[in-house]
């Protein structure tokens, strides 16, 4: 199967870079091409139906395991093993290059997983990366749900960078198919409201290369 992948136009990429520079996050409804969204949605629905997803908490690093163990989500890492995954990873690459040029943030590698929340699922307010750890710099969440209704819950709540825990969120985003949220991983607090239906998404992160005096990151 071949999936044509039109790239986000320069104006969308410019808007994302502008939002990130100004406030640390950007919401882009229907950013993914419809064909790609449909292929990704079909794959996550199939894997969910076949119970071919792992409990969150089986991660690649300690922080990730801790992070996920408080959630009841199920995930599947993207490894490029399907046409949909290859198309998505290919779509993400020029986004990385463009945002690197615009923001000079030196994003180096990308990893992503399908994430399924069961009915009643949620994710408390958190950051995706610990400040100073210099691993994840930019988070991407892409939604794969059709015709989501406000009363279904499951909105993504976003707070301003550095907001007091008691402050109200500045945005509630519905997880509607093809929409994409970009957030600076170290500084933008966010949460997932209780969802009253199964909720399908992709969570991804770009990392910077951590090579330094004592450690060399491999290129692959």
Interacting residue ranges for Mn ion, rule: CB under 5 A: 128
Cβ proximity to ligand OGA, 167 vs 216, nearer residue:
167
- Rounded CA gap, 92 and 206, in Å? 10
Which residues have CB under 8 Å from 39's CB, separation 6+? 1, 3, 83, 84, 87
Of all residues in the shown chain, the one whose CB is closest to Mn ion is 128
Work out how close the CB of 64 gets to Mn ion at its nearest, in angstroms, rounded to a whole number.
11
Cβ proximity to ligand OGA, 7 vs 54, nearer residue:
54
User: Binds 141, which of Mn ion, ligand OGA, none (CB < 5 to 8 A, cut-off by type)?
Assistant: ligand OGA
Instruction: Name the 3-class secondary structure at 66.
Output: helix
181 burial level (CB within 10 Å; 0-12, 13-18, 19+) = buried
User: Binds 136, which of ligand OGA, Mn ion, none (CB < 5 to 8 A, cut-off by type)?
Assistant: none
Point out which residues bind ligand OGA (CB under 6 A): 115, 123, 128, 141, 156, 175, 190, 192, 201, 203
Work out how close the CB of 190 gets to ligand OGA at its nearest, in angstroms, rounded to a whole number.
5
Work out how close the CB of 126 gets to Mn ion at its nearest, in angstroms, rounded to a whole number.
6
Cβ proximity to ligand OGA, 3 vs 197, nearer residue:
197
| Closest C-alpha to 17, from 92, 87, 91, 96 | 96
Are 153 and 195 in contact by the 8 Å Cβ rule? The answer is yes
The HSE-up count of residue 21 (CA atoms within 13 Å, CB side) is 13
Cβ proximity to ligand OGA, 153 vs 175, nearer residue:
175
Work out how close the CB of 154 gets to ligand OGA at its nearest, in angstroms, rounded to a whole number.
8
Instruction: Name the 3-class secondary structure at 184.
Output: strand
| Closest C-alpha to 97, from 17, 25, 37 | 17
Cβ proximity to Mn ion, 128 vs 186, nearer residue:
128
User: Binds 192, which of Mn ion, ligand OGA, none (CB < 5 to 8 A, cut-off by type)?
Assistant: ligand OGA
CA 35 to chain CA centroid, nearest Å: 19
Helices 83-103 and 10-23 sit at what angle, rounded to 10 degrees? 60
Cβ proximity to ligand OGA, 33 vs 189, nearer residue:
189
User: Binds 201, which of Mn ion, ligand OGA, none (CB < 5 to 8 A, cut-off by type)?
Assistant: ligand OGA
Work out how close the CB of 216 gets to ligand OGA at its nearest, in angstroms, rounded to a whole number.
28
């Amino acid at each position: 199967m071949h999936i044509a992948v039109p790239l986000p136009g320069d104006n969308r990429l410019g808007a994302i870079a502008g939002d990130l520079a100004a406030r640390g996050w950007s919401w882009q409804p229907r950013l993914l091409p419809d064909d790609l969204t449909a292929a990704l949605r079909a794959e996550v629905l199939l894997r969910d139906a076949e119970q071919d997803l792992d409990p969150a908490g089986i991660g690649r690093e300690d922080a990730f395991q801790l992070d996920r163990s408080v959630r009841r989500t199920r995930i599947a890492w993207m490894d490029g093993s399907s046409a949909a995954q290859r198309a998505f990873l290919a779509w993400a690459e020029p986004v990385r290059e463009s945002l690197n040029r615009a923001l000079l943030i030196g994003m180096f590698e990308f990893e992503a997983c399908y994430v399924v929340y069961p009915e009643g699922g949620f994710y408390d307010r958190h950051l995706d990366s610990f400040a100073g750890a210099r691993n994840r710099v930019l988070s991407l969440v892409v939604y794969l749900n059709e015709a989501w209704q406000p009363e279904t819950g499951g909105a993504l709540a976003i707070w301003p960078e550095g907001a007091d825990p008691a402050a109200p969120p500045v945005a509630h985003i519905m997880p509607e198919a093809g929409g994409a949220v970009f957030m600076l991983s170290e500084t933008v607090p966010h949460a997932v409201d209780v969802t009253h239906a199964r909720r399908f998404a992709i969570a991804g992160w770009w990392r910077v290369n951590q090579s330094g005096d004592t450690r060399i990151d491999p290129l692959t």
